[in-house]
Amino acid sequence: MLSIGSVNPLAASALQRIEAPLPKVGLGQGIPIPSGAQPTQGFGNLLDGLVATVDGKQQAAQAATRKVLLGESDQLHQSVIAMQEASVAFTMMVEVRNKLVESYQELMRMQV
């Protein structure tokens, strides 16, 4: 058992780790930037790319479903997975749009 004046070595090393300064992280360091989202790219272009990605997922899901319905493929599970993936991507895109509109409205309500 430790006396009141003694310091537990494990606690001391944990305290040193907590008090250690955090490393400086510059822009683009530490957080990987997706290949389609370069810092030089405009925000509108980024949104256009995301919309195109969601549209591509929906078209791929429609093509897979069409093949199953026409009997060209027996991959029903792949068709259902593609439809769910497209649905989730679309829902996320709509939620991002809603948050952007809400942020814009909040900025417009601010008084200068």
pLDDT, tens only, 3-26: 454 545 554 554 454 454 544 444
Question: For the ranges 16-25, 28-37, 94-103, which has the lowest average pLDDT?
Answer: 16-25
Position 82 in a domain:
yes
28: in domain: no
Q: Measured between alpha carbons, how far is 94 from 38 in angstroms, rounded to an integer? A: 23
Is 95 part of any domain? yes
Provide the pLDDT for residue 104: 94
* Mean pLDDT, residues 69-78 taken together: 92
Domain count, the chain: 1
Q: Which domain holds residue 93?
A: 41-112
**Interval 36-72: pLDDT, tens:** 555 567 888 888 999 999 999 999 999 999 999 999 9
Query: Residue 99 domain-assigned?
Result: yes
Distance, in Å, from the CA atom of 15 to the CA atom of 18, rounded to the nearest integer, reads 5
Q: What is the reported pLDDT for 22?
A: 46
Q: Which amino acid is at 39?
A: P
Confidence at residue 43, expressed as pLDDT on a 0 to 100 scale = 82
11: Cα separation from own chain's centroid: 36
Q: Is the pLDDT of residue 81 over 70?
A: yes
Q: What does pTM read for this prediction?
A: 0.59
